[in-house]
A and B are shown apart, each in its own frame.
Chain A
Amino acid sequence: MHPELEFAIALVAEGVLTGLMYSLIAVGFVLIYKSTDAINFAQGEFVMIAAIVVAGSLDWFGLPLWLSVLIGFAFMIAFGMGLERFVLRPMIGMPIVAIIMATIGLAFFLRGFGPLVFGSAPTTINLPIPDSPIFWGPLYLKPIALVGAGISIAFLAAFGWFFLKSRTGVAMRAVADSHQVSMAMGINVERFFAIAWITAGIVALLGGLVWGNMIGVDIQLALIGLKVFPVVILGGLDSIIGVVVGGIIVGVVEALTSGFIDPIVGGGMKDFAPYVLMVIMLMIRPYGIFGRRLIERI
């Protein structure tokens, strides 16, 4: 095989796996939007705080991994409930811009809170996953990325089923569609809000474990949140399959840009290319590949 082609194949495989790991972060975002119609600009900070709690339990108290993860779960559940109760519930019915700003405020709050409680020294989460890559033909596969991609796909499949088939999922979609009508139909809107935010917290924890292992744990882990936007815009904000496709597109575009465009322009186009793609998408099809077109009424 031609070496450049071989390299391109390796890049695509790398991109697909990385992209699926981006999907793992983005799914929390889509989950919230799909079930509460709220926008979470603090998704990266969710991941960060979950990872900081787990790493803090590991490092400080010397707990075993499973117990630390359990503590992480407990924390994220409490956090999701508290957040819904004290921040999101009072904001029901407010314009979307207000909710965007509230979550930006939350992001700053968490960036101060995490280091204040758990210290600002970077650390890592060591998972019992081998580190040496698997070579398979031209492919170069990272075990952690395979695990991340696996979790991502499993979660997305579960959510797909959940929103389509389960009673709770359908109720959540109804809540997202209109808070007022759902209330009138006897749906307990607050309860579904709480469920949505707790689930988002748990997804963030899994994202935090995988990405914390990949890049280390401290406030900079929150930067992963920046990857969410191209993924969700390309795939479609309220589409589970869209998150998968969007993630893969972003991952592959990044990898190929790095391999074939960077040498020409002599700079780092990689993380920038998905944003350009996203703007083009916003111009021609703002609701994404799989998104639902909104019809506006007065």
Chain B
Amino acid sequence: MTFLRTLGLAAAVTATFAAGATAQAKDIVIGMMCDRTGPTAVTGTVLCPGYHDYIALVNSKGGIMGNTVIADEVDIEYKVPPAVEAYQRYKAKGAVLVSPFGTPMVAALVKTMQEDKIPATSAGFGTAAAANGEKYPYMFPIAASYWSQTAAAVQFAKDTFDGDLKGKRIAYVFYDNPAGREGIPVMEELAKQEGYELRTFGIPAPGIEAGAQVLDITRRFRADFVIAHVFGRAPAVLLKELKRAGYPIDKVIGLVWAVSEGDIAAAGGWDVAEGYNTIQFAGVGSDYPVLQEIRDMYKAQGKEPPSEMAYTVYYNRGVFQAAMHVKAIEDAIKAKGSADITGTDVRDAMRNINDFTLDGLVPPLQMSAKDHEGGGYIRVFQVQGGKFVPVTDWYRAYRDTVLRLLEEEHKG
């Protein structure tokens, strides 16, 4: 089977035919785009092994109801043309689910996927608008959108100040690209509701220097709280500068791409990040039964667990995505009664995932035909003594405001 998995397109097509003939046990292909090189390599090199390990775990337990899952990975280097090529490869292989990586790639493929009726997930990126299942019936953000995350971050700040943000100064630090600016409307809207004073600080590409912004935050604006929505190298730089300036790190919260073990290492180690609050859409840390199963699987094969498992933020997100995919496919097979599922079957199953938590690794998502975001749940983990410790339960905040803004966005 490994040989088949690694063969090129032609062999896979043949394999599909062969499997069609036997009809019973079938190879189920998931298209897995990944960034192992390029600007987002830091994420991809950890997230993708997590994804593959979960799929390997499922297969080692006999696959999904006897059907082997093939996660076909293509490294797209955060470029659009390779993503198009990869997508066509998946389509030719008969993939029932695709996982593109990166906002521009999702944007470039969303139309084609809708035409081909192949569902896709985009956990943690893509516009907030994609959560609308009526407008994008085959696009599943599955994780909290940037808008939901921003709202949750404001809620967290509010709780920090005992439920009152009136007159407080909040700095919203964003990476200056479309994805980074996305949270601003929510911040402005909530500033009206909660009465805090908002100032935005852009960190433009390449985001390797933030000395002046931090001076401004700490010495001119004197922010009471910092919400950071930054990517790439900017999280490490920002964290280190804030720490150096003596800013209390426990008054900083980062959205989903603003922290990982790698960023903390780049910033100079766990001491620098002590107290940092981070929003997560998948559980962080090593204490999940599913991770133990993966370690056991490696042990059974006589191998050491991969070094990527130490980077739990992205690794667990890989596991989370894989688990969601497997769950949707499993439900689709159950609903259909055979492994002959189509993209639309998987889509329908995905829309019905409810309270699938994987012992805390996955938020209590409530997917529906309208809400492909699953409710927008996040959980805040704080850096304490060299690891991430959950300081809240899964929660969401200002749901009405976020939904109202979504409505307006669709009208406008």
Please tell me whether chains A and B touch each other in their complex, using a CB distance cut-off of 8 A: yes
How many whole Å from B265's CB to the nearest CB in chain A? 5
Check if B204 is an interface residue, CB within 8 A of chain A: yes
Check if B403 is an interface residue, CB within 8 A of chain A: no
Check if A88 is an interface residue, CB within 8 A of chain B: no
Task: Pick the contact of B204: A121, A266, A270 (CB < 8 A).
Answer: A270
Task: Pick the contact of A215: B37, B237, B269 (CB < 8 A).
Answer: B237
Check if A126 is an interface residue, CB within 8 A of chain B: yes
Q: A216-B266, A216-B267, A254-B209 are in contact. Are A259 and B215 (CB under 8 A)?
A: yes
Q: Which bucket holds chain A's interface residue count?
A: 35 or more
- Of A29-37, A155-163, A175-183, A220-228, which stretch is located at the interface? A220-228
Check if B200 is an interface residue, CB within 8 A of chain A: yes
Task: Pick the contact of B212: A122, A142, A217, A258 (CB < 8 A).
Answer: A258
Chain B residues whose CB sits within 8 angstroms of the CB of A272 once the complex forms: 204
- B208 adjacent to A215 (CB under 8 Å): yes
Chain B residues whose CB sits within 8 angstroms of the CB of A4 once the complex forms: 220
How many whole Å from B18's CB to the nearest CB in chain A? 36
Chain A residues whose CB sits within 8 angstroms of the CB of B208 once the complex forms: 215, 220-221, 223-224
CB proximity to B under 8 Å, residues A102-142: 111-112, 115, 120-124, 126, 131-133, 140, 142
Q: Cα distance A135–B69 when bound, in Å?
A: 60
Chain A residues whose CB sits within 8 angstroms of the CB of B352 once the complex forms: none
Q: Cα distance A221–B209 when bound, in Å?
A: 11
Q: Cα distance A254–B45 when bound, in Å?
A: 33
Task: Pick the contact of B266: A7, A215, A226 (CB < 8 A).
Answer: A215
Check if B347 is an interface residue, CB within 8 A of chain A: no
Q: Cα distance A133–B79 when bound, in Å?
A: 40
| Prevailing SS type, chain A contact patch | helix
Listed residue (A14, A142, A220, A226) with the most chain B CB atoms within 10 angstroms of its CB: A220
Q: Cα distance A18–B211 when bound, in Å?
A: 8
- A142 adjacent to B206 (CB under 8 Å): no
Count of B interface residues, CB-CB < 8 Å: 44
Q: A140-B245, A262-B202 are in contact. Are A218 and B212 (CB under 8 A)?
A: no
Q: A124-B268, A215-B237, A216-B233 are in contact. Are A268 and B211 (CB under 8 A)?
A: no
How many whole Å from A7's CB to the nearest CB in chain B? 5
Q: Cα distance A214–B244 when bound, in Å?
A: 11
- B245 adjacent to A217 (CB under 8 Å): no
Check if A205 is an interface residue, CB within 8 A of chain B: no
Check if B169 is an interface residue, CB within 8 A of chain A: no
Q: Cα distance A11–B199 when bound, in Å?
A: 18
Chain A residues whose CB sits within 8 angstroms of the CB of B334 once the complex forms: none
- B244 adjacent to A259 (CB under 8 Å): no
Check if B105 is an interface residue, CB within 8 A of chain A: no
Q: A122-B265, A216-B236 are in contact. Are A15 and B212 (CB under 8 A)?
A: yes
Interface string of B202-242 (1 = CB under 8 A from A): 11111111011101100110000000000011001100100
How many whole Å from A134's CB to the nearest CB in chain B? 11
How many whole Å from B379's CB to the nearest CB in chain A? 24
Q: Number of residue pairs across A and B with beta carbons under 8 Å?
A: 131
Interface string of B76-90 (1 = CB under 8 A from A): 000000000000000
How many whole Å from B191's CB to the nearest CB in chain A? 14
Q: A223-B208, A268-B204 are in contact. Are A121 and B262 (CB under 8 A)?
A: yes
Q: Cα distance A254–B215 when bound, in Å?
A: 13
Chain B residues whose CB sits within 8 angstroms of the CB of A111 once the complex forms: 37
How many whole Å from A264's CB to the nearest CB in chain B? 12
Q: Cα distance A263–B202 when bound, in Å?
A: 9
Chain B residues whose CB sits within 8 angstroms of the CB of A219 once the complex forms: 41
Task: Pick the contact of B244: A123, A132, A266 (CB < 8 A).
Answer: A132
How many whole Å from A142's CB to the nearest CB in chain B? 6
- A142 adjacent to B211 (CB under 8 Å): yes
Check if B73 is an interface residue, CB within 8 A of chain A: no
- A263 adjacent to B199 (CB under 8 Å): yes
Q: Cα distance A223–B267 when bound, in Å?
A: 16
Q: Cα distance A133–B247 when bound, in Å?
A: 12
Check if A255 is an interface residue, CB within 8 A of chain B: yes
How many whole Å from A141's CB to the nearest CB in chain B? 11
Check if B311 is an interface residue, CB within 8 A of chain A: yes
Task: Pick the contact of B215: A123, A140, A267, A269 (CB < 8 A).
Answer: A140
Check if B250 is an interface residue, CB within 8 A of chain A: no
Q: A215-B266, A219-B41 are in contact. Are A140 and B204 (CB under 8 A)?
A: no
Check if A190 is an interface residue, CB within 8 A of chain B: no
How many whole Å from B374's CB to the nearest CB in chain A? 30
Q: Of all chain B residues, which has the CB nearest A267?
A: B202
Chain B residues whose CB sits within 8 angstroms of the CB of A268 once the complex forms: 176, 202-204
15 pairs, A vs B, C-beta closer than 8 Å: A4-B220, A7-B215, A14-B211, A14-B212, A121-B307, A132-B246, A133-B245, A140-B219, A142-B211, A215-B266, A216-B268, A220-B39, A259-B216, A269-B202, A271-B205
6 nearest CB pairs, A to B? A216-B266, A268-B202, A268-B204, A268-B176, A258-B212, A223-B206
- Given contacts A269-B202, A271-B209, 8 further A-B pairs with CB under 8 A are A122-B266, A216-B266, A218-B42, A255-B215, A256-B212, A259-B216, A269-B204, A270-B212
- A interface list, Cβ under 8 A from B: 3-4, 7, 10-11, 14-15, 18, 111-112, 115, 120-124, 126, 131-133, 140, 142, 145, 213-221, 223-224, 226, 254-256, 258-259, 262-263, 266-272
